[in-house]
Structure 1
Amino acid sequence: MPAELSAIGATLPRSNLRAALIVLCAFAVFSGTDALVKLLAQSFPVPQVTFMVTVAALVGIVGSAGLSGRVGTLWPRHPRLAFLRAGLLAGDTILIYYAFAVLPLAEAYVLAFLSPVLVAVLAFGFLHERLSRAGWLGVLLGFAGVIVALRPGVVPMNLGHAAAIGSALLFAFSLVLLRRTQVTESDTALVASLLVVLSVLSLVIVLAGSGFEAVGLMDFATIAAAGLLLFAGHALLVRAFRIGDASVIAPFQYSQIVWGCLYGALLFGAPVEIHTLAGAAIIIVSGWLVLK
């Protein structure tokens, strides 16, 4: 998820057009990772999938840093804040991966799109930031969009919906945390700290449960592909926020609804539900109002 990078100090020349193109590629890559995670989750428990994919991504970033002679950039300059942020985002990732496993991709994305709305509410409550009338309208519209998309009382809710909302809430807390402190970290440190914490957390969950299930040769290929896509997506995302303005780039997250519908239809035979698209449209408008 992107907006938490808005507090990162930029050191590169600004170019919103380049950043927009890069971030569109990043979200296309992330959606590919999400689709592969959903495929793997049909054969393995979600914590094991998370651990395997994260370790594959971690191998990728460490290998890349080693080949380029930049191993020292993997360690953050502000480790306490970096790893606290990474812990929030690791929990966010585990929850959203579970949501991907049990919900259609497009439906999980719709709930994840609540992050800007939740940030506005949390910033008002914890940081005493004032919201404009348009901002409050955006907050109300965001929750209305969820009602339209999920149709409570018509379609039964499950733990996947709760996980997706919990994921958006953890991500929103990570945003509020970074609004209090400006972070100037290398691209690799920002990605590596997240991957380290996520791999440790998912491993603990696996060992606390039923342990690891056997992995076949073809599964390893899927895991490697998902890990490389996860690494590439994070690298593209950080770079986009280095060279572009967050207020311009962050709304491009909503492009994932297109990929969610596409992958859902092609790989999982999920129909494109009109109420899901309507709810997504309302939440997108709400996020735009909040970000104004």
Structure 2
Amino acid sequence: MAGCFATMDTSIKYLGAFVPVLLIMWGRYLTQTLVMTVWLLRSKTSTFRAAHPKFQLLRGILLLLTSSASFYGVQYLPVAEFTAINMLTPVIVTLLAGWVLHERVSALRWALVCGGFAGALIVIRPGSGMFGWAVFLPLAGAVSYASFQVLTSKLAALESPFTTHFYTGLTGTAVLTPLLLSSPIDIVGTLQAATAGHLALMLGIGLLGTTGHLLLILALGLAPTSTLMPFVYTQIAFAAAVSYAVLGHAPDQWGWVGMGVVAVCGAASAWLNVRKGAVPSSAVAADTIAD
């Protein structure tokens, strides 16, 4: 699962040099819509019927905003560092739970919040000129996805995760299609000019995103979120390894330190959220990866 998302992010960064990012993102959501359409047609337990259509729409938009930050963010930031900053979601959930849901936040949780942001600052190193304005993209993505988790915490148990997964793809496709058609991108010309390898990579990105989320859903059917969460954070290591193998980039010493701090604080915060019931252990709400 973590390998799927790390490979996907690296593929997006590589393909973005040849194909417009908006077209790549549209292809990713269209692939998920088609795959989940087939899945639901063959399913005996899940249907296309949504119990809360407005919830599905809002949830889909939040995930699309997060994906937009991811697809464009990896064009400007190294994949491993981007992944680490984006993994701040659990600590931001803690902040939103206290602010929006008026839940009591313990001293330990506040310490993890501070620790997570300290780790992000180590990665970013403000004033160093390493990343510039682009660091706001993964930060915006983490905030958007944390908002999604707080929303989902109220309604996740009322929807099938497979039905929700379908509507996530459908919402993204429905929003991106008119944007793509009204953009200056020559869709037909771009696709005709793309190599067979680039077209295969576009399809692979959609399949990696869809498969990664389905693997997470299946994993959560076999083990509690608190058990799986540490493995989710191995995505940072996968991202560093795949990025180095494909793009030749390796984080520096301080980058590794900052990513380690984010991973430890984020995993601990996520574990506390599940243990205390701040975020339900459903496949939808526990998903900390939003590509």
CA distance in 2, matches of 1:178, 1:71: 21
**Pairwise CA distance, 1:103:** 1.1
CA distance in 1, matches of 2:92, 2:180: 30
What is the identity, as a one-letter code, of the residue corresponding to 2:255? T
Instruction: Kindly report which structure 2 residues correspond to 1:1-292, keeping only aligned pairs within 5 A, or say none.
Output: 26-66=1-41, 68=42, 73-213=47-187, 214-215=190-191, 216=194, 217-291=196-270, 292=272
CA contact (8 A) 1:56 1:223 kept: no
Describe the superposition over 1:60-114 as per-residue Cα deviations: whole angstroms up to 9, x where unpaired: 2223434x26597234232221221111111111111111122111011011111
Describe the superposition over 1:133-183 as per-residue Cα deviations: whole angstroms up to 9, x where unpaired: 111110111111111111111134334311111000000001111223343
CA 1:139/1:70 → structure 2, altered by over 3 Å: closer, same or farther? same
CA distance in 2, matches of 1:49, 1:179: 30
Secondary structure of the equivalent of 2:233?
helix
CA contact (8 A) 2:33 2:167 kept: no
CA 1:61/1:151 → structure 2, altered by over 3 Å: closer, same or farther? same
**Pairwise CA distance, 1:186:** 2.5
CA distance in 2, matches of 1:28, 1:88: 24
Q: TM-score, normalised by structure 2?
A: 0.84
Q: TM-score, normalised by structure 1?
A: 0.84
Q: Which runs of 5+ in 2 are unaligned?
A: 273-291
Secondary structure of the equivalent of 2:157?
coil
CA distance in 2, matches of 1:102, 1:176: 28
CA distance in 2, matches of 1:51, 1:211: 12
What is the identity, as a one-letter code, of the residue corresponding to 1:42? A
CA contact (8 A) 2:81 2:251 kept: no
CA RMSD of aligned residues (A): 2.0
- The alignment of Structure 1 onto Structure 2 pairs a total of residues equal to 266
CA contact (8 A) 2:40 2:163 kept: no
Query: Which deviates the most, 190-199 or 156-165?
Result: 156-165
CA distance in 1, matches of 2:139, 2:171: 21
CA distance in 1, matches of 2:115, 2:214: 32
CA distance in 1, matches of 2:46, 2:221: 20
**Pairwise CA distance, 1:218:** 2.8
**Pairwise CA distance, 1:245:** 1.8
CA distance in 2, matches of 1:159, 1:221: 32
CA contact (8 A) 2:6 2:238 kept: yes
CA contact (8 A) 2:63 2:168 kept: yes
Q: Which residue of 2 aligns with 1:13?
A: none
CA 1:65/1:37 → structure 2, altered by over 3 Å: closer, same or farther? same
What is the identity, as a one-letter code, of the residue corresponding to 1:50? M
**Pairwise CA distance, 1:190:** 1.8
